[in-house]
Amino acid sequence: MRRIVAVLVLLFVAGVFSLFLIAQSGTEEVSFPDVLDPTTVEVNFTPAVLPQLVVFENITEPYDDADAALALVVVQETIEGLQDNALPVFYAGDKFFEARKAYEGENVTGIVEELLQITDAKQRERTFAKLNLTVGSRKINFDYASAVKLSRDAVEHAQKLHTLQERVTLLNYTVAQVNRSAYNISELDIFLGAISAQLQNEQNIDLIGGMIVQAYARLDELLVEHSRAVVLLKASQRTLKNFILTNWKSLLILVFVAFIVGVISVNELRIYLFEEKINNLHLEFQTLEKLCRKVQNDRYVEKTLTKSDYGVRMQQYKSRMTAIQHTLPVVKGSADRLRHHRKYYFPIFH
C-alpha cells in the first residue's frame, strides 16, 4: 500500500509541475528546422557542357578522313570521362564500335599490292578501273559521314548522362539538408534509389528527368504537410496554454481530487480482492470437508476404495485443509489492516 501511495504522490507532483511549466511558457514560439526550397534548386541548375561536344561544332560537311579520325578520338576521350565519373559506357561503346567500322571500311592494301604485280600496264589499269581502285588506295566502302554522326551521337548521349548525374547529385544534396528528425523521407529515399539505378542501367534515361522533377515535387509536398502540422501544433499549444492559465485553480483541485479518489479506489480494490480470497478459501475448505466424508463413506460403508487409495486421498485433502487454516489468518489480517485505513476517509463508520 505504501508503494502505491508513493507512486500516486509522485504522479500528483508531476501533474502539478507540468501545469506550472505550461503556464510559465508564456508566448515562446516553437522553432522548427529549415530546409532548402526545392522549387528554386532545380530551376537555377545549369549543367556543365562537355568539351568534347564543343569539338563537333568545328567539324562541318563535307567530312574527310581527318574529321572522322578526330571524331573517333573525341569519343574515346568521352568514354574515359564516363568511366572516371562512374557512369555507364554501354551506349557510347557501341556507337564508337560502329563509328570505327564506318571509318575503317574495308582494307584493300593487300589487293593493291597484288595488282601492282601485273606486268602488263594496260591490263593493270583496266583491273584498277574495274575494282574502282587507284595505286594509292588503302580502303574502300568507308563512310566518314556516318563515322562523324555516330561519334556525335555517342558524345551527346554522354552529355545527357553527365547532366543527369549532376542533377541527381544536386537532388541528393538537397535531400541531405532535410532534418530527418522532423521529416519522414523514407519514401523519398526509395525513389532516389530507383533514379540512381535507372541511370546506371542506361534504360529510359529520357524519363529520369521527369523522375527528378517528381522527387522535388514530393519533397515540396512534405514541406507543405510539415508546415501545416507546425501551424496546428502552435495553435493547439496556444489553446492549451490559455486554458491552463484561465482555469489553473480548478485544474489543481481536479488533480488533487483525482489523487484522493485514486488512493481510496486502490485501497477499496485491495480490500475487495482480499475478501474474495477469504470467501474462496472458506468455500474450498468446506468442499474438502465434504470430500473427506465421501472418501470415508466409500472406504468404510460402500467399500469401493482400497486402503492405499483411501490413505493417499485423505492425506491430500488434509494437507490442503491445513494449508488453508494457516493462510486464512494471514489474509484476514491483511484485509483488517486495509479496513483500518477507512477511518481516514470514512470516519463515520469508526
61, with CB counted inside 10 A (0-12, 13-18, 19+), is exposed
Nearest-angstrom CA–CA distance, 233 and 238: 9
HSE on the CB side for 61, CA within 13 Å?
4
Q: Which three cell numbers stand for residue 211?
A: 523522375
The DSSP annotation for 256-319 comes to: HHHHHHHHHHHHHHHHHHHHHHHHHHHHHHHHHHHHHHHHHIIIIIS--S-HHHHHHHHHHHHH
Which is nearest to 19 in space by CA: 313, 252, 188, 295? 252
User: Is pLDDT at 263 greater than 90 in this prediction?
Assistant: no
Tens digit of each residue's pLDDT (9 = 90 or more) over 126-183: 655 555 555 555 555 567 888 889 888 888 888 888 888 888 888 888 777 777 776 6
Evaluate whether 115 touches 40 at the Cβ level (below 8 Å): no
Which single residue is written with the C-alpha cell 563515322? 147
User: Is pLDDT at 44 greater than 80 in this prediction?
Assistant: no
User: Is pLDDT at 319 greater than 90 in this prediction?
Assistant: yes
For residues 231-237, average pLDDT? 61
Evaluate whether 199 touches 165 at the Cβ level (below 8 Å): yes
What angle is formed at CA 153 by the lines to CA 86 and CA 99, rounded to 5 degrees?
95
For residues 3-31, average pLDDT? 51
Q: What is the pLDDT of residue 34?
A: 45
Tens digit of each residue's pLDDT (9 = 90 or more) over 181-198: 766 777 788 888 888 888
Q: Which three cell numbers stand for residue 93?
A: 561503346
For the chain, what are the domain ranges?
A: 2-26+231-349, 38-230
Residue 151 CB: number of other CB atoms within 10 A? 32
pTM: 0.47
